[in-house]
């Protein structure tokens, strides 16, 4: 089990603060959860805790960005996507300002707090805003790489972070290029996994292999821009794709893949695992994911069905 993304994110902010005087960090009274507090302790003059007011925090970040700063705003993903979406759209995206929107506790990772805190619509909202890039890291290393990527962009980037420590994936330089990362080669089915579901997909691939099905596992952190060529390259071999995400199936990663495939005339068998348009509930993280079909067993089962 690796370091949690939020810990990696907080430390990465501190590390960037040294060499990047243009980095300013804002939080909405959850800095001990998002770990942006680490930056605030080190660089208090460039840290602003604006209270439980996500919209104002994002608007303030926009003002800072117009004057040459590169703000990173931190709050829970659900509250950024829903409470601050007006400011994210109109102040940040409309003007293509370089602001990093760091959505903490993404997906179901705030598992015990229940549906009010579980973010299953943020990807759909963020990817619908022109100029916005959307990244869903799979592990702590990808979270650090996402910050490195976002800090050299001239426009907005949404980074969805997970609360809990999840297994590490092999590091790949493909992340910095926005590419789908091939974690396992296979020829029977492509499992394209968004965010932390990549580690579950890897477990599923091991199970499938025992049954004689060789799955190619892609970790796909970039929902937008989507590496369509990388996905297509795998699907050309396998003829099948199973997308996996920790989000409502409406408007999320599988939606992005299917939209892109249709536009490019990429034909294949297609299935998707995610939240089936329902509100989620309280519970321990992995059992909660499993309750909605996001588990290695379920991924293996659906991949097997796709291969029949």
Partner 1 sequence: MDKGISELLADPSRKMNAEELAVLAAVFRGKMFEILHQRGTGHWGGASSCAELITSLYFNRLNIKADCPEWEDRDRFILSKGHASVNLYTVMAYRGFFSTGMLPEFRTLGSCLQGHPCMTKLKGVDMSTGALGHGISVGLGMALAARIAHRNYWTYVLTGEGCLDEGSSWEALMAASKYKPEHLVLMIDYNKVQLDGTEDEIMPLEPLDDKLRAFGWNVCPYGLDGNNTSDILRSFEWMDEEGSWPKAVIYNTVKGKGVSFTEGDHKWHGAVITDDAFEKGIVELNADIVSKEAAL
Residues that bind partner 1 (CB under 8 A): 24, 45-46, 48, 50-51, 53, 55-69, 71, 86-87, 90-91, 94-96
Cβ closest to partner 1, residue 50 vs residue 120? 50
Q: What is the rounded CA–CA span in Å between residue 75 and residue 55? A: 11
Neighbours of 291 (CB within 10 A): 13
Cβ closest to partner 1, residue 56 vs residue 258? 56
Cβ closest to partner 1, residue 50 vs residue 231? 50
Neighbours of 99 (CB within 10 A): 31
Identify which of 259, 185, 247, 177 has the alpha carbon closest to the alpha carbon of residue 218. 185
| Beta carbon of residue 29, minimum distance to partner 1 (angstroms, whole number) | 12
Cβ closest to partner 1, residue 35 vs residue 83? 83
| Beta carbon of residue 90, minimum distance to partner 1 (angstroms, whole number) | 5
| Beta carbon of residue 24, minimum distance to partner 1 (angstroms, whole number) | 7
User: CB under 8 Å to 114, separation ≥6 — which residues?
Assistant: 280, 281, 282
Cβ closest to partner 1, residue 61 vs residue 136? 61
Cis before 225? omega within 30: yes
Q: What is the rounded CA–CA span in Å between residue 108 and residue 289? A: 7
| Beta carbon of residue 55, minimum distance to partner 1 (angstroms, whole number) | 4
Identify which of 224, 27, 13 has the alpha carbon closest to the alpha carbon of residue 5. 13
| Beta carbon of residue 147, minimum distance to partner 1 (angstroms, whole number) | 20
Tokens of 85: 């979406």
């Amino acid at each position: 089990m690796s370091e949690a993304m939020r810990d990696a994110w907080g430390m990465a902010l501190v590390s960037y603060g040294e060499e990047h005087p243009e980095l300013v960090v804002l939080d909405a009274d959850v800095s001990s959860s998002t770990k942006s507090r680490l930056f605030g302790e080190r660089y208090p003059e460039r840290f602003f805790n604006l209270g439980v007011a996500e919209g104002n925090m994002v608007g303030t970040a926009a003002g800072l960005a117009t004057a040459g700063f590169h703000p990173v705003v931190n709050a829970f993903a659900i509250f950024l996507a829903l409470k601050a979406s007006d400011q994210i759209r109109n102040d940040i995206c409309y003007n293509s300002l370089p602001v990093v929107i760091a959505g903490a506790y993404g997906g179901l990772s705030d598992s015990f707090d229940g549906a009010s805190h579980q973010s299953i619509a943020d990807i759909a909202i963020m990817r619908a805003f022109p100029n916005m890039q959307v990244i869903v890291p799979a592990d702590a290393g990808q979270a650090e790489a996402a910050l490195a990527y976002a800090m050299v962009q001239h426009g907005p980037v949404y980074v969805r972070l997970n609360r809990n420590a999840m297994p590490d994936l092999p590091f790949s330089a493909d992340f910095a290029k926005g590419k789908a990362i091939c974690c396992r080669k296979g020829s029977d089915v492509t499992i394209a996994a968004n965010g932390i579901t990549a580690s579950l997909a890897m477990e599923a691939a091991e199970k499938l292999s025992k049954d004689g099905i060789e799955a190619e596992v892609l970790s796909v952190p970039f929902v937008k821009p989507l590496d369509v060529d990388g996905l297509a390259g795998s699907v050309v071999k396998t003829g099948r794709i199973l997308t996996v995400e920790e989000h409502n199936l409406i408007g999320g990663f599988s939606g992005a893949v299917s939209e892109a495939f249709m536009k490019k005339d990429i034909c294949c068998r297609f299935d998707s695992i995610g939240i089936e348009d329902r509100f989620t509930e309280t519970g321990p993280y992995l059992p909660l994911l499993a309750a909605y079909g996001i588990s290695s067993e379920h991924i293996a089962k659906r991949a097997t069905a796709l291969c029949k």
